[in-house]
A and B are shown apart, each in its own frame.
Chain A
Amino acid sequence: MVQVNEKIHVPKDGKRNSYLGIDVGSVTLKFVLMDNDQRVLSQVFLRNQGSPIDSVKLGMAEMRSQIEKNPELQEYAIRACGTTGSARYLTKAVVGGDLAKTEIIAHAVATQSLYPDVRTILEIGGQDSKIIILRDGIIVDFAMNSVCAAGTGSFLDHQATRLNIPIEDFGDYAVKSKNPASIAGRCTVFAESDMIHKQNAGYSKEDIIAGLCDSLVRNYLNNLSKGKDLEEPIVFQGGVSFNKGIIQAFKKHLDRKITVPKNGLNVLMGALGMAILSREYYINNEIDTVFRGLRMTDIDFRTRTFNCGDCPNNCSIVECSIVENNEVIARWGSRCGKWEVF
């Protein structure tokens, strides 16, 4: 991370500075509130509820109740707010974020703050997986999975439901296996049929799950690393990094040491990265945040889509507005830029 001049401008309200990072992924939602010394003050980790707007409101309500319960947290004021994840722009519009950055940047920044000499970051989330290569503290390369979601959390989740095992216990089953079954990992559809064959042939659940973890890792390495040098230190994060079976499989395939951030931070890295970037933004720009505040949970938002129809492209436009005064806070989706409001 670039160290900036520490001329922190302190507003007159006398409260201490804090920064909020929000990561709205495909499956889960993460909030991190951080103080000036990059200490995590408060965190929220939730499964998505229907639409991203509903989830964000729920997360914000959770954060608000944490703050209301804790008098120490009330000494802080949120000076800047950043969003990341696949819903970063929508979230930014809804909460009044100051900046939106991609997951790659957010993850890299957060990991570097915890492990300054990290050289490889493996991240497997709900619907996408990434690999980030750093050298001398600089991101030099990255890759994301292409069209297919094979080898991501959603797939494991689905298979866990099918095997009637809670996803939290998945890893424990995998590490118990002595003789992992070999499962085709190229495509989830084939992997599933292969799994059913193995199940019906009488393989134990442990062996099948271990085989599944193994094939997921193989798929990940084939699709993403493609000849990149995965040098130590390697940090593994994202929801799937809770899974011991996957960690074991990575160790086996890479023959290197794998570090997983502790204290539940492995899933919060995106949000933490955004909190750090928000701090950087606040210090560099010295402008007041446009953050709506924790009270945004009381505002009703409405989204609608319509087709423009002014040219043969017939773009589908998404519009997000506040119900009360019909103020349009965001609109996008046109190719020509006609309807754009940010």
Chain B
Amino acid sequence: MQSKKTTNQRELKHLKDALKSYRYDKKSKIKVGIPRALHFYRFFPFWKKLLEELGCELILSPHTNKQIVEEGAFQGFGELCLPVKVYYGHMLYLIREPPELDYVFVPRYVSERVEGYFCPKFLSLPDVIRTLPNIPKILTFTINVKENPISNSIISLAKILGKGQREALQAYEKAKKYHKQYQDFLRKGTPVGYALKLVEKDKPFKMLKKKTPKNIKFLLLGHGYNIFDTFVNLDFQKKLTRHGVDVLTIENLPEILFKEPVIINKQFRPYWLHEDEILAAIRYFLVQGRKEIDGVIFLISFACGPDSLIAELIMRDMKVIRLPFLQIIMDEHTGEAGLLTRIESFVEMIKRKKRKLDAMKEKQDLKIFEEA
């Protein structure tokens, strides 16, 4: 008799739980997965504000790890570059791991300003991702200012999520404002990795404690997904810091540098947006900013067409102004020895140069030194 009662009670509890979770489900938000790869490192704060305002709950893939890279490399075929393979890996993680997603967010970035395009791999991303097995519905919008203002794209995105035009525009305004705050925060010299962490945890933009500046300062050039994905680049920035180097990235530079497009000659107009940014950043250090940095490092992923082109242009400029320049090409390689040898040599070369120049300064009259 007694045991029967307990069974009933148990059943009742089970039913109650089920009801509770059902109610929760009804109230719960649309679950949208975002892979932590490619333009995540550039647009995440914007997406986060936008999608959350439109009633979504964001699920992020973890930081890149060995399994993600291996799976991505296995799935990625043909002439794909490493960052896209890593994107595949993150997407596969989102598909495989709980919770079940309503959508994965794969925006199509075609053009952000009238006179430039994103890399073709960004243009075709939603179509390519569709081929992955068991992929949930794809949530996408197309940013192409050559044809449509961004607000129109946002309205059509909101429509998929069941929101009206007014809500869409409101969300867009908020997201824009938030992204601006984020960019300003970076321009004060905050490392991107730290800022993204704050965004992810919904924390206010509070500056890191100012560290005493180090003796050597490098400009680290390259695409965000190469520079801030610490797995792919074998924690490049940390290695530099460990050798006593301060690192500056494009995101830390003042906005004004990027206002005017770079024109190399009449035949070579700026074409790719990211590359244009890199060239604009370097242009500043060719003239006014020459004394602000001690060296430039350019991180390239293997098989990146646009990067290979401008690397040559940068190398020529660096030769003229005699700024030490190191170009590093990365692939799935995880052996650190080669990378370490190059970093150590580069840093040591600059340290010795500084020491020697200082010794010369002490010896000679300051004036003679400056003339030389």
Contact = CB atoms under 8 A, between A and B. Distances in A.
Interface of A: 2-3, 86, 101-105, 137-142, 144, 146, 226-227, 311-314, 335
A82 B346 CA distance: 19
B345 A104 contact: yes
Given A102-B344, A313-B66, A2 B356 contact: yes
B337 interface: yes
SS class of chain A's interface: helix, strand, loop or mixed?
loop
Contacts of A2: 352, 355-356, 359
B244 interface: no
B352 A138 contact: yes
B231 A101 contact: no
A335 B319 contact: no
Contact of A103 (B68, B341, B353): B341
A226 B344 CA distance: 22
Interface residues of B, number: 29
B159 interface: no
Given A2-B359, A86-B341, A105 B231 contact: no
B28 interface: no
B361 interface: no
A335 B235 contact: yes
Contacts of B357: 138
Given A2-B359, A146-B329, A313-B231, A102 B345 contact: yes
A312 B65 contact: yes
Contact of B344 (A101, A140, A141, A314): A101
B353 A138 contact: yes
B269 interface: no
Contact of A104 (B67, B329, B349, B359): B349
Interface string B160-204: 000000000000000000000000000000000000000000000
Contacts of B270: none
Given A2-B356, A2-B359, A227 B348 contact: no
B124 to A, nearest CB: 28
Given A142-B345, A312-B65, A335-B235, A105 B319 contact: no
Interface in B314-330: 315-316, 319, 322, 324-325, 329
Contacts of A311: 65
Given A105-B348, A105-B349, A312-B65, 16 more contacts: A2-B352, A2-B356, A2-B359, A86-B337, A102-B348, A104-B341, A104-B349, A105-B352, A138-B352, A138-B357, A139-B349, A139-B352, A142-B345, A144-B342, A227-B315, A227-B316
Interface in B10-64: none
| 7 cross-chain pairs, A with B, having the tightest CB-CB distances, nearest first | A104-B345, A312-B65, A102-B345, A139-B349, A312-B67, A313-B66, A102-B344
B341 A138 contact: no
22 contacts: A2-B355, A2-B359, A101-B344, A102-B344, A105-B345, A105-B348, A105-B349, A137-B356, A138-B353, A138-B356, A138-B357, A140-B322, A141-B325, A142-B345, A142-B346, A142-B349, A226-B315, A227-B315, A311-B65, A312-B66, A313-B231, A335-B234
